Amino acid sequence: MHQDSLFAAPAASPDVHRLFFALLPDAATQARIAAVAAALHREHDAGGRLIGAHRYHLTLQFLGDASEFQPERAARAQAAAASLVLPAFDLRLDRAGSFRNKSVPWWLGSEHTPEALEGLYQRLGVALAKEGVRAESGRALVPHVTIVRDAARPLHPPLAIEAIDWRVDAFVLIHSQLGSRNVYDVLGQWPLSA
């Protein structure tokens, strides 16, 4: 062993700190998503692993990953969210499909994105920019709830499923710590008007 390695600084934590705005389904909607996910997983021999219902979410704006939690950035993101006054809306999950990436995630999504969801995505993006918070979401919203990770095969083309109607009346900011803890912490919740 080289002598310098005896005095090397400890390795940095391998944890990833992720911030994102999301929609969280209520308990009844979670249960319906879980039932559809289990049936699809079984009927289509998905392999991989089902996502726990407590982790179901629809990402609105992804703010990125960092090696440590950034409280100032989170505070600016919260200020952006607090500046919005937007209506509640109904979201219908009526399709199942998958993305073509290395973890082959299966998802539930919508054939038609509600205008109010698109408006929330766009206005939140503008509010974040005004607060100096860069979002990494891309130019277009692709609304989906991931239900399976590391599937054995893609689910293509998307399939029609029995519709799950979801009343969306709030959105949240989540800090996800991946690594030693693997937890989701809701940092703030903002209601959408009735």
Residues 58, 60, 66: CA angle, nearest 5 degrees: 100
57 in a structural domain: yes
User: Strand, helix or coil at 118?
Assistant: helix
Residues of the domain holding 36: 16-170
The per-residue pLDDT of the chain, averaged, comes to 90
Looking at residue 149, what is its pLDDT? 93
Domains: count for the chain: 1
Looking at residue 105, what is its pLDDT? 94
DSSP 54: G
Q: Measure the CA–CA gap between 19 and 124, rounded to whole angstroms.
A: 14
Looking at residue 134, what is its pLDDT? 93
Q: Measure the CA–CA gap between 46 and 93, rounded to whole angstroms.
A: 20
Looking at residue 166, what is its pLDDT? 98
31 in a structural domain: yes
Reported as a single tens digit per residue, the pLDDT across 142-187 is 999 999 999 999 988 899 999 999 999 999 999 988 766 677 899 9
1 in a structural domain: no
136 in a structural domain: yes
Tokens read off for 6: 């005896």
102 in a structural domain: yes
- Parts of the chain with a pLDDT under 50: 1-12
CATH, residue 164: 3.90.1140.10
Looking at residue 177, what is its pLDDT? 85
* pTM, full prediction: 0.88
116 in a structural domain: yes
Q: Which of 194, 193, 186 is nearest to 24 (CA)?
A: 186
48 in a structural domain: yes
8 in a structural domain: no
